Amino acid sequence: MQDIRQPLYAAPASGHKQAMPPPRRSRAAPRPPPAPPLAAGPSADEAGGVLTISLAAVAANYRALARRSLPAECAAVVKADAYGCGLEQVTATLLAAGCKTFFVAHLAEARRVRQLAPEAAIYVLNGYTTGTGPAFAECGARPVINSAVELAEWDQFVAASGWRGGIALHVDTGINRLGLSLAEAAAVASRIHAPNHGIALLMSHFACSEVSGHPLNALQIQRFRDIRMLYRGIPASLANSSGIFLGDAAHADMVRPGAALFGVNPTPGAANPMQPVVELKCRILQVRDVARDETVGYGATWTAKRDTRLAVIAAGYADGIPRAAAATAAEPGRHVLVGGAICPIVGRISMDLFTVDVTDLPQSVQRGDWVTLIGGELDIDRVAAEAGTIGYEILTGLGRRYHRVWTP
């Protein structure tokens, strides 16, 4: 079987134009890339909140997923700034944990990964856009080819440049999003018999892997197995985070976890096998009393049913707090931890502020205290469920106004 981690800069076949050379390397030992910073954003004194990301938990989650996937290779999906957790910091951590293959969504993300991972294989999920061939070659990234048109344009670039950096071929087995149809993939399968065919990876993507018993999972596994028969010798990848937990039949030669690396539960309905990665705490700006029958916030959507004590928190939808997260007359809304106690968010979330009902707390709550929005019993999945969304959206939406700290 072809090695998944084939060289990034393969030599051109005879008769082809000279390949673009790899980046020049000094005869001296290359300097290692600088370590990414472990703090960012405004200072803790000036920020409304502190976002702490545990890199040790990211590494532990990767190793756990890699063990579960053996003998398949475990890659890592670090798109969207590593799901909001810091692309550079996470990439450096995963490299140290043994990861050799990374998936991103865009070329700009691939360049950032390449700065830290000069020898890694980097795949760009959103594929090849007309005219981007030289940019792929420059950073040694591999486009995930998602259509016959992309494949034709990529072949034109290769013919003109001699570049032999390789591609992934994405086949749609049932999600009906990106990817060649099964018929299109079968029609071009004969190219694997040509020298320098360029296909480094055959891949597809689950639609319903988080629901272990969904019938589409078995159908996609069977369709992918059938198409793999036409691409013998080409490494193959199907499983995302949840797909890893569907068993060996879903693993193929490589798995591609993303959200599970960052603590999102890949097995909804069962205990979360991943370690929590993110903790978010925000500052109380003011504590105020509201009389019974007074309304709170924009739109007067919440009315105090008793004399109420409120804490006003220094975060809002500009910081990734979903506007739909607070209680209304009809919905119970989301909670935060104040001094370790669960308290409801009430009134509408505004751009920079939200309010919490702290009336029932026995202890004194004061200006300058911190409340926990993510952490402890408020794990990322509970926070997302209370906001009517998923952990992916909560993580990737966390704003840039927090003081960010990465703990090794």
In whole angstroms, what is the distance from residue 211 CA to residue 188 CA?
A: 32
Which three-class secondary structure state does DSSP give residue 220?
Answer: helix
Q: Is the peptide bond before 215 cis (omega within 30 degrees of 0)?
A: no
Q: How far is CA 48 from the centre of its chain?
A: 25
What contacts 106, CB < 8 A, 6 or more positions away? 79, 124, 126
79 tagged catalytic = yes
Helix, strand, coil content of the chain in percent (nearest 5): 30, 20, 50
298 tagged catalytic = yes
> Torsion angle of alpha carbons 84, 178, 104, 271, nearest 10°?
50
Q: Which candidate, 327, 263, 270, 332, places its Cα nearest to that of 299?
A: 327
**Of residues 79, 231, 281, 392, which has the active-site annotation?**
79
What contacts 327, CB < 8 A, 6 or more positions away? 302, 333, 334, 344, 345, 346, 347
In whole angstroms, what is the distance from residue 273 CA to residue 120 CA?
A: 27
Q: How far is CA 61 from the centre of its chain?
A: 13
Three-state DSSP string of 225-285: HHHHHCCCCCCEECCCCHHHHHCHHHCCCEECCCHHHHCCCCCCCCCCCCCCCEEEEEEEE
Which three-class secondary structure state does DSSP give residue 97?
Answer: coil
Look up tokens 């700034």; give the residue.
81
Catalytic residue numbers read 79, 298
